[in-house]
Structure 1
Amino acid sequence: MSKTLVEKIWDAHVVKSEVGFPDILYIDTHLIHEVTSPQAFDGLRKRGLPVFRPQQTVATADHNVPTLNQLLPIKEELSRYQVDMLTKNCAEFGIELYGLGHPFQGIVHVIGPELGITLPGKTMVCGDSHTSTHGAFGAIAFGIGTSQVEQVFATQCLLQQKPKTMKIEVNGELGTGVTAKDIILYIISKISAAGGTGYFIEYAGSTIEALSMESRMTICNMSIEMGARGGLIAPDQITFDYIKGREFAPAGAQWEESLAYWKTLYSDADAKFDSVLSFNAEDITPMITYGTNPGMGMGIAEHIPATADQVSSEQASFQKALDYMGITGDTELVGKPIDYVFIGSCTNSRMEDLREVAEFVKGRQKAENVTVWIVPGSKQIEQQAIAEGLDKIFEAAGFQLREPGCSACLGMNEDKIPAGKYCVSTSNRNFEGRQGPDSRTFLASPLTAAAAAITGKVTDVRTLLKDTVNH
């Protein structure tokens, strides 16, 4: 029988299935961090249970870590407590921890792929909604709640309803200044922040196939922002080349065996999806969000939609979002002064992102009114950026290269955007207060964020790319 890629991987991991009940799904890899694991560890203690398969659990500290002076004690009390608890819990339960100071430390969704832990055909979970990032490798990867973290600790399995399947095709060639982040912001703006609810999404089409692994991770990362359970892309030669030779990737005969299996991981030609959507790459321009959910996005040269044009039942919440952001419908966002630029997060903190920004800002200077933070996704990326001299380029432009962590993606550590200030951010969420109480966030690609840093205002990067050639 023909199957989609999701069905192939899911069915291969079902331990038990009964009509009217959720499937018991085996989990290959369990990623954990300091925020969603403490209560789960406590649950094990209370029941006198060990972690069933500690060798299939990988831990790192990322959400609550400072991104300056990481070798010093953490200043924020709650953050310090959570990171200390993770260290103690991992030691007690025999779990490998890539904590502060470890060469493999970094954002959980960045280190999995770069270490060769994330592989095609796996089931992967983490107490973190952006686990869908790992789906870029042709894996079923999704976020879970703390009680489910405990369930995986104890059994290496989860009770899960089989999701519906959706295929999103993007075909054609991307225009100037348009990146993977623009693709996903465009899709979410078209189908809404709830358009993928209940589905596992497979991204396909010539545009997706032409993307690097790092760009594919950006797209899968934000699947959750349209309500989807997760998102994935069928593995291909680009995937295999990326994985080969990484720290924990299969090697030798095991590599050949794995590769043979990975090459079977695709949706059959006549597989049936519950929903299929198609988009043209040529229709996508550099994107920016204007509201307080990732679905409130538009091409950067467009006008902010008017409240009167919204469905009557949504007008009040739409206007509330505009009021929070301090902007008016039916006006341009281009030219809006901004205060901060944050380039980082599990969406856009990889080498490709940093190189792209460095190439764009080389020889340029940030605007005086803007504070710019560049936060690499891992210790390895930080070291690579320094080895390539990107730190010098950033420094000359007035950008600050910090140490790895989730940083200003979420108001959970020291890197917060002050109340009322505007931040152009490469992260994945623009909710009220997400980057700090009463902060205001415009989501964009690293290129668009870099353009805002240079000009001090929301800018269509294409206008600056035109003169890069003469620059």
Structure 2
Amino acid sequence: MGSTLAQKVWDAHVVRHGGTGEDLLYVDLQLLHEVNTPQAFDALRAAGRTVRRPDLTMGTEDHNTPTLALDRIIADPSGRRQAQLMRENCARSGIPLHRLGDPGQGIVHVIGPELGLTRPGMTIVCCDSHTTTLGAFGALAFGIGASQVEHVLATQTLRMRRMKSMLVEIPGSLPDGVTAKDLILALIARIGTAGGQGHIIEYRGEAIDALSMEARMTLCNMSVEAGSRAGMIAPDETTFAYLAQRPGMPQGEAWDAEVAYWRTLRSDEDAVFDTTVTLDASTLSPYVSWGTNPAQAVPLDGRVPAPGDFADEAERAAAERALAYMDLRPGTPMKDVGVDTVFLGSCTNGRIEDLRAAAGVLRGRRVADGLHMMIVPGSAQVRRQAVEEGLDRIFAEAGADFRAGAGCSMCAALNEDRLRPGQRAASTNNRNFEGRQGKGSRTHIVSPPVAAATAVAGRLAAPADL
């Protein structure tokens, strides 16, 4: 019987098979940010251990970073302390760190690929669930907890139990105006937030082959919102073309050898998956969330559902709670829902392709009166490129707030970038649970084009509605 892509990468990294059903895996790269890592370094020192491979570790400041200005002090004392500890711990251990203001700084899942650190066939971990993003390159990438961060720092290995495999087959082509964000929202709406629990998802099919690397990262980023531990896409010519432009890549024969190996990283024809889901891309349209988890989403042309629309008792109860929190009435057309704020950014949609998509909608238009549109680049490099391409002028002319700093911003709401109680936002981030973007905040997850169109219309809208 053949092997899946995930099994091939897993097997190539097994250091030792454990007697309890766990394997000890070698970790090629550990990424760090300022949240959740101080505890790991404290435990490491308490045990008298040091970082085994600082050269296979990289840190960045992203969650607490201010975005209004690069020289702005972190307002929250705990966030300021986390950033300081990150700097001290990385300096003490010899770990490269990208601080706010550095050319390579940004959201950890954005800068890894930019800096050429993410490659097919790698095992990559980070103290953040959205490390799944990096599976877009054919890497086995997933989030880990503080105690696991300590273990990897000390040993460059991790004990893991094998997971099941899920194949998500996406035949057909995405219609115009439909993005990878809509695709993943449609999938989660279908299988639920626990649909991928205990699985590694592999995406493939005609629609996947047509996606850019940025779009593939968006798709894999939200795999965790379906409950899966990781999402993966087999590397192909699109992957190789993207990587060829990254720093630190091998050249000449060494590059050819790498690509030859990367081409083997795909599931065998006779590989067996534990679960298979098929979703016809040609049937999809722009999606938007209405509730308080990503599975509570409908087509943008749809209406707010009623609790009675759900056969499952738990889903009915969840719908009742979500409708009360979101202050929505069943039957309301989604396009009638007005918003106060639009947020474009996050590790899901803060890349240059996302900013270009928004600029294409905003060009020659103005943000609705009284509405605040905040655009936060996913990295310093993304911001520089946006300025070089003139996107900053388009945003300024439209009345959008294009921030100077890169970071998680309103997605994590660990700094000043947050909604006030009762405010409603159309947001390109990945989560919409209660209070995610600020206490009492109400979040509708959308794609970048829908976010931009919503900013112009003042209500949930698609570019075609303008």
TM-score calculated relative to the size of structure 2: 0.98
Deviation at 1:461, TM superposition (A): 3.0
Equivalent residues of 1:176, 1:462 under 8 A apart:
no
The residue that corresponds to 1:467 in the other structure is none
Could you tell me which residue of structure 1 aligns to residue 207 of structure 2? 207
Asked if 1:428 corresponds to 2:446, the answer is no
CA distance in 2, matches of 1:250, 1:419: 51
Question: Could you tell me which residue of structure 2 aligns to residue 103 of structure 1?
Answer: 103
CA contact (8 A) 1:348 1:426 kept: yes
**Cα drift, residue 369 of structure 1:** 2.1
Q: What is aligned with 1:343? A: 344
User: 1:304: which partner in 2?
Assistant: 304
Is the 1:286–1:461 Cα contact (8 Å) retained in structure 2? Answer: no
Quick check: 1:409 aligned with 2:436?
Answer: no
Whether the 8 Å contact between 1:168 and 1:202 is mirrored in structure 2 is yes
**TM superposition shift of 1:19:** 4.5
* Mapped partners of 2:313, 2:214: distance in 1: 40
Deviation at 1:249, TM superposition (A): 2.5
In the TM superposition, residue 274 of structure 1 has moved relative to its aligned partner by 0.5
Q: Which amino acid aligns with 2:162?
A: K
Task: Give, in angstroms, the shift of residue 70 of structure 1.
Answer: 1.7
Give distance in 1, aligned partners of 2:462 and 2:101.
Answer: 39
Residue 73 of structure 2 corresponds to which residue in structure 1? 73
For the residue of structure 1 that corresponds to 2:396, the secondary structure is helix
1:321 aligns with 2:316: no
CA distance in 2, matches of 1:115, 1:252: 20
Q: Distance in 1 between matches of 2:370 and 2:72?
A: 30
Alignment of 1:107-126 (within 5 A): 107-126=107-126
8 Å CA contact 1:10–1:140 kept in 2: the answer is yes
Structure 2 unmatched runs, 5+: none
Report the AA paired with residue 101 of structure 1: G
Counterpart in 1 of 2:462? 460
Deviation, 1:47, is 1.0
After TM superposition, the structure 1 = structure 2 runs for residues 127-166 of structure 1, keeping only pairs within 5 Å, are 127-166=127-166
Aligned twin of 1:448 = 450
| Aligned-residue offset at 1:253 | 3.4
| Residue 184 (structure 1) aligns with | 184
Q: Which segment drifts farther, 274-283 or 286-295?
A: 274-283
Moved more, 209-218 or 315-324: 315-324
**Equivalence for 2:227:** 227
**Match in the other structure for 1:469:** none
SS at 1:424 equivalent: strand
Do the aligned residues in 2 keep the contact of 1:117 with 1:249 (CA within 8 Å)? no
1:246 is aligned with what amino acid?
Answer: R
Amino acid at match of 1:387: E
Matched residue of 1:258: which SS? Answer: helix
Output the amino acid matched with 1:247.
Answer: P
CA distance in 2, matches of 1:169, 1:383: 36
The CA distance in 2 between the partners of 1:412 and 1:387, in whole Å, is 29
**Hey, what's the Cα distance between the residues in 1 that align with 2:396 and 2:122?**
40
| Number of the residue aligned with 1:384 | 385
In the alignment, the residues of structure 1 paired with residue 99 and residue 213 of structure 2 have an alpha-carbon distance, to the nearest angstrom, of 25
Q: Is the 8 A contact 1:115 1:249 kept in 2?
A: no
Q: Tell me how far 1:45 sits from its aligned partner.
A: 0.8
CA distance in 2, matches of 1:323, 1:245: 48
Counterpart of 1:359? 360
Q: Give 1:264 deviation, angstroms.
A: 0.6
Q: Which residue of 1 aligns with 2:47?
A: 47
The answer as to whether partners of 2:413 and 2:438 remain within 8 angstroms in 1 is yes
User: Which stretch shows the higher mean deviation, 368-377 or 244-253?
Assistant: 244-253
Which residue does the alignment assign to 2:8?
8
> What does 1:274-293 align with in structure 2 at a 5 Å threshold?
274-293=274-293
1:289-318: CA deviations, max 9, x gaps? 000000001101112221012222332222
83-92 vs 329-338, greater mean Cα deviation: 329-338
Aligned residue in 2 for 1:439 = 441
Name the SS of the counterpart of 2:141 in structure 1: strand
In the alignment, the residues of structure 1 paired with residue 248 and residue 59 of structure 2 have an alpha-carbon distance, to the nearest angstrom, of: 15
Counterpart amino acid of 2:231? G
Contact 1:411 1:433 in 2 (8 A): no
C-alpha separation between the residues in 2 aligned to 1:461 and 1:25?
46
Residue 241 of structure 1 aligns to which amino acid in structure 2? A
* Distance (Å, rounded) in 1 between the aligned partners of 2:317 and 2:331: 16
Structure 2: distance between partners of 1:313 and 1:441: 22
SS in structure 2 of the partner of residue 346 of structure 1 = helix
| Equivalent position SS for 1:16 | strand
In 2, distance between residues paired with 1:462 and 1:13?
Answer: 48
Equivalents in 1 of 2:414, 2:72: separation in Å? 18
Q: Is the 8 A contact 2:180 2:219 kept in 1?
A: yes
Q: How many residues align?
A: 464
Query: Which residue number corresponds to residue 248 of structure 2?
Result: 248
Distance (whole Å) between structure 2 residues aligned to residue 53 and residue 94 of structure 1: 9
Q: Distance in 1 between matches of 2:100 and 2:422?
A: 32
SS in structure 2 of the partner of residue 105 of structure 1: coil
- Residue 176 of structure 1: CA displacement? 2.3
Amino acid at match of 2:114: E
Give the residue type in structure 1 aligned to 2:253: A
Whole-Å Cα distance in 1 between the matches of residues 71 and 254 of structure 2?
A: 38
**Quick one: which amino acid aligns to residue 64 of structure 2?**
N
Q: Spell out, residue by residue over 1:322-346, the C-alpha distance to the aligned partner (whole angstroms, 9 max, x if none).
A: 1000002232121211000000000
Cross-structure match for 1:173 = 173
Q: Which residue type is aligned with residue 384 of structure 2?
A: Q
CA contact (8 A) 1:426 1:445 kept: yes
Following superposition, the deviation at residue 78 of structure 1 comes to 1.6
Give 3-state SS (helix, strand or coil) of 2:336's partner. coil
Q: Provide the C-alpha distance between the structure 2 equivalents of 1:45 and 1:19, rounded to a whole number of angstroms.
A: 29
- Contact kept, 8 Å, 2:449 with 2:462, in 1: the verdict is no
Q: AA paired with 2:334?
A: L
What is the CA–CA distance in structure 2 between the aligned matches of 1:343 and 1:448, rounded to whole Å? 10
Q: CA deviation at 1:251?
A: 2.9
Q: Which amino acid aligns with 1:303?
A: R
Structure 2 residue aligned with 1:193:
193
Letter in 2 for 1:168: V
Distance 1:67 1:250 in 2: 35
Equivalent AA in structure 1 for residue 236 of structure 2: D
Residue identity (%)? 50
Q: CA deviation at 1:43?
A: 0.6
Name the SS for the 1:171 alignment partner: coil
- Secondary structure of 2:12's partner? helix
- Counterparts of residues 28-43 of structure 1 (less than 5 Å): 28-43=28-43
d(CA) in 2 for partners of 1:197, 1:276:
14
Secondary structure of 1:9's match?
helix
Q: Look up the equivalent residue of 2:411 and give its one-letter code.
A: C
Q: What's the RMSD between the two structures over aligned residues? A: 1.0
State how far apart, in whole Å, the 2-side matches of 1:352 and 1:53 are: 34
- Counterpart check, 1:20 vs 2:46: no
